[in-house]
């Protein structure tokens, strides 16, 4: 059965993907839970429109970020979070959280995929975060302090 996924489904696919899956799985699990719908021509056309809109929005954000790279270069962004007495954070800080912090503090909207981060940040201190968009690069300092 051909279905359009309405949400990310582990081991099946991502939101807005069109997949061919077993009839029983679709009828008994995915469709009743609101995770998928039948891939009718109308549903496929709607999904294609949504994908195009998301792609256009991403391009706009990307172009805007390229223009704002100079404004964020060498900026120091402070973030206060919980840490133990040794300076280790209770929860690592990921790309998504860094993008959210930067947007709150500097009003520059960075998509997480443009942030270069080898692993989540798990210690207090000053960390240099690199951003790379369309071949252009900038860096800012993320200062993490214990609460």
**In the 3-class helix/strand/coil scheme, how is 66-104 assigned residue by residue?**
HHHHHHHCCCEEEEEECECCCCEEEEEECHHHHHHHHHH
- Domains of the chain, first to last: 2-62 (3.40.5.10), 64-146 (3.10.430.100)
For range 105-112, the mean pLDDT = 85
What per-residue confidence (pLDDT) applies to 97?
93
Q: How far apart are CA 140 and CA 72, in angstroms?
A: 6
Are 89 and 124 contacting, i.e. CB atoms less than 8 angstroms apart? yes
For residue 4, pLDDT beyond 90: yes
Predicted confidence band of residue 136 (pLDDT cuts 50, 70, 90): confident
Q: How far apart are CA 7 and CA 14, in angstroms?
A: 7
For residue 106, pLDDT beyond 90: no
For range 124-130, the mean pLDDT = 92
Are 144 and 89 contacting, i.e. CB atoms less than 8 angstroms apart? yes
For range 82-106, the mean pLDDT = 90
What per-residue confidence (pLDDT) applies to 110?
86
pLDDT in tens, 57-85: 988 888 888 887 888 888 899 999 998 98
What per-residue confidence (pLDDT) applies to 26?
93
41 vs 59, 93, 115, CA distance in Å?
Answer: 27, 42, 37
What per-residue confidence (pLDDT) applies to 31?
94
pLDDT in tens, 15-48: 999 999 999 999 999 999 999 999 999 999 999 9
């Amino acid at each position: 059965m051909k279905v359009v996924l309405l949400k990310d489904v582990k081991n099946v696919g991502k939101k807005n993907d069109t997949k061919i899956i077993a009839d029983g799985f679709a009828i008994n699990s995915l469709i009743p839970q609101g995770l998928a719908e039948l891939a009718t021509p109308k549903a496929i056309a709607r999904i294609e429109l949504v994908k195009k809109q998301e792609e256009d929005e991403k391009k706009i954000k990307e172009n805007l970020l390229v223009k704002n790279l100079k404004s964020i270069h060498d900026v120091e962004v402070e973030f206060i979070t919980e840490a133990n007495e040794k300076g280790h954070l209770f929860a690592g800080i990921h790309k998504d959280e860094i993008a959210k912090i930067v947007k709150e503090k500097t009003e520059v909207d960075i998509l997480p995929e443009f942030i270069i981060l080898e692993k989540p940040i798990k210690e207090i201190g000053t960390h240099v975060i690199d951003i790379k968009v369309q071949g252009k690069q900038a860096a800012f300092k993320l200062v993490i302090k214990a609460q």
